[in-house]
Structure 1
Amino acid sequence: MHVDHVAFGWDDLDTVRAALDAVGLPFDEGGTHADGTTHMALTGLPDGSYLEYIAPTPGTNPEAAGFWPAALAARAGPAAWCVRVDDVVAETKRAIDAGFAVEGPLHGGRDRPDGRRVEWDQTFERVDAPDRWLFPFPLVDRTPRSWRVSETDGVTPLSGVDTVVLGVADVDDAAALLDRRYRIPAPVLAETDAVAGDVTDVPGAPIALTAAGDARLARVGERPAAVLLGTDDLAAARTAYELTDPVAWGARRAAWFDRDLFRGRVGVIE
């Protein structure tokens, strides 16, 4: 499982840009999606993964947005995640074989600020289930991947998306579903004070699970709740960016980008 990107959803992109500037996390403008209802910016990371910051285009009601309208309207922060695959048709078949209802493959695209059209194919899984955004959507590029994302200047010492923290109603149930689809190892409790409640890591996979609070579940359902970017040097990352004090995350250390919009939602892990 290779994380392609994590979508961070908000109702106004200017607010997200201002928070990124405040913590020193660089980003590139990404343009407008093909249906015209959402636009985005992104932070491209050295391993090819990226954070996408997505919001309704000006004048669009968030609840009418083409991507994750409930999450955008609710200022959910992490809203969805995507895995990079070589063959989206084969990956779609694997989801069907696991008993999941699917939508796709679907043709997607966006227009970059320089006018270049970026295109891809993607499939959404468990489309008949309330926990559908718990699962990543597989994606493959039609146009060169470098058109969709390239490393953003100044992102060192970050390496890539390390861990997607999934906020779920029941950790055991979610782990069983993920195992059915991806054959994941059994989650292991990770001692941390970074988030409220217990967190379990999935060894060898870029996933952690945590029981989301009732308020978040009522607002946005089961979906990514946080994302941690990897670094080999947390001290250097704290020099480069505004981060909270580090806390233990199992045998590692983690810190959040230190603004209300990101704290508890986007961080760094060593």
Structure 2
Amino acid sequence: MLGRQQDEHVRLDHAVIGGNDLSEIDDAFDSLGMEPTYAGKLENDINHLSQLGFEDGSYFELTATLEPGQESPWWDVHMQKDAGPTAWAVEVTNIASVVDEIAERGTPVDGPNEFGRERPDGTYFEYELATLGTKEFGTQLPFLIEDHTPRSNRVSTPTPSVADTELVGVGAVVVGLGDLDDGIEVYRQAFDLPEPSRQTDEEFGAELAHFPDTPIVLATPLAAGNWLADRLETFDDGPCAYLLRSSDWDRTTERFSLTGESSWFDDRLAWIDSERLDEINVNLGVLSP
């Protein structure tokens, strides 16, 4: 099953959606009845963000530069070219210990490094981040995050617009990769994972691999020149789609226009059909056991 209830070393914290204009990203989600909450600017005075949090504590971070076209210190190409899915994070409770374990297995690690800032309402929070692997921060591999103040200081979940709904969390991150076998080995080494299950989705245009009891789905293009291959040419390895988890499929089909219903690794899956999401290049699906 895909979802947030996983081994603590791969517990999905949040998924990042990047673009050129935060208001456009916010408006796209608002058009679907999922109104994000503005969460302020970062310490660098270049980026700002909104959050869309769910009942299980996972959330989307929607982010852009304060002024469209500014150079961003993180994920600049993703923001300039409206990537949509950009990066993701794993929540840990002892980041120093986890970093040591990952490094001992041979995965490059940067950090942990300490950060802190105030939210627009004046709430202060502190946390540590660590970057894994050789690709850009949080893309091919997730970054690690540990809070040093209550997690609720960093993000309040659920966001009112999705509270008391059947949309209970970010169930999975689909990571696009140029080489699936290499990507599998990168993840197995970093997180000491078993062999994944595999399947092919012709409509999605990818060969897939899923590590049981994790939110990780890896995807590689079935053909040169398809949408995923083109995306990888622009943004390299990294998230290419996100999947929400629904506790009531009937309510979800009433809420959204869904298309391409199929089954991924024993979960029911369909994609939200939305021109507004297409405009910000967000592939957003919904899954239910």
TM-score normalised according to structure 1 size: 0.90
Specify the alignment match of 1:198 in structure 2: 207
Cα-to-partner distance string for 1:63-86 (whole Å, 9 max, x where unaligned): x21321121112111111101001
Alignment partners' CA distance in 2, 1:164 and 1:124: 17
Alignment partners' CA distance in 1, 2:276 and 2:182: 29
Q: Residues 130 and 27 from structure 1, CA distance in 2 versus in 1: closer, same or farther, beyond 3 angstroms? A: closer
| Alignment of structure 1 residues 210-225 onto 2, 5 Å | 210-212=219-221, 213-225=228-240
3-state SS of the aligned residue for 1:227?
strand
The offset of 1:115, in angstroms, is: 2.7
TM-score normalised according to structure 2 size: 0.85
Alignment partners' CA distance in 2, 1:28 and 1:267: 21
Pair 1:267-2:285 in alignment: yes
* Number of residue pairs aligned between Structure 1 and Structure 2: 266
Q: Residues 15 and 123 from structure 1, CA distance in 2 versus in 1: closer, same or farther, beyond 3 angstroms? A: same
Alignment partners' CA distance in 1, 2:210 and 2:102: 23
Pair 1:90-2:97 in alignment: yes
Alignment partners' CA distance in 1, 2:102 and 2:142: 11
Which of 5, 29, 41 is the equivalent residue of 1:20? 29
3-state SS of the aligned residue for 2:49?
strand
Alignment partners' CA distance in 2, 1:182 and 1:43: 27
Alignment partners' CA distance in 1, 2:188 and 2:94: 21
Q: Residues 131 and 195 from structure 1, CA distance in 2 versus in 1: closer, same or farther, beyond 3 angstroms? A: farther
| Equivalent AA in structure 1 for residue 155 of structure 2 | V
3-state SS of the aligned residue for 1:178?
helix
| Alignment of structure 1 residues 139-178 onto 2, 5 Å | 139-150=145-156, 151-155=158-162, 156-178=165-187
Pair 1:186-2:195 in alignment: yes
Given that residues 243 and 255 in structure 1 are in contact (C-alpha distance below 8 angstroms), is that contact kept between their aligned partners in structure 2?
no
The offset of 1:144, in angstroms, is: 1.3
Specify the alignment match of 2:259 in structure 1: 245
Given that residues 199 and 208 in structure 2 are in contact (C-alpha distance below 8 angstroms), is that contact kept between their aligned partners in structure 1?
yes
Given that residues 161 and 229 in structure 1 are in contact (C-alpha distance below 8 angstroms), is that contact kept between their aligned partners in structure 2?
yes
Given that residues 80 and 224 in structure 1 are in contact (C-alpha distance below 8 angstroms), is that contact kept between their aligned partners in structure 2?
yes
- Unaligned regions of 5+ residues in structure 2, if any? 1-9, 222-227
The offset of 1:178, in angstroms, is: 0.5
- Unaligned regions of 5+ residues in structure 1, if any? none
Structure 1 ranges of 4+ moved more than 6 A: none
Q: Residues 158 and 132 from structure 1, CA distance in 2 versus in 1: closer, same or farther, beyond 3 angstroms? A: closer
Q: Residues 165 and 48 from structure 1, CA distance in 2 versus in 1: closer, same or farther, beyond 3 angstroms? A: same
Cα-to-partner distance string for 1:173-199 (whole Å, 9 max, x where unaligned): 101111111122322234545622222
The offset of 1:131, in angstroms, is: 9.0
Specify the alignment match of 2:248 in structure 1: 233
Which of 29, 38, 44 is the equivalent residue of 1:35? 44
Alignment partners' CA distance in 2, 1:180 and 1:252: 26
Cα-to-partner distance string for 1:45-93 (whole Å, 9 max, x where unaligned): 11111111111112661xx213211211121111111010011111221
The offset of 1:95, in angstroms, is: 2.4
- Percentage of identical aligned residues: 29
3-state SS of the aligned residue for 2:206?
coil
Alignment partners' CA distance in 2, 1:67 and 1:116: 24
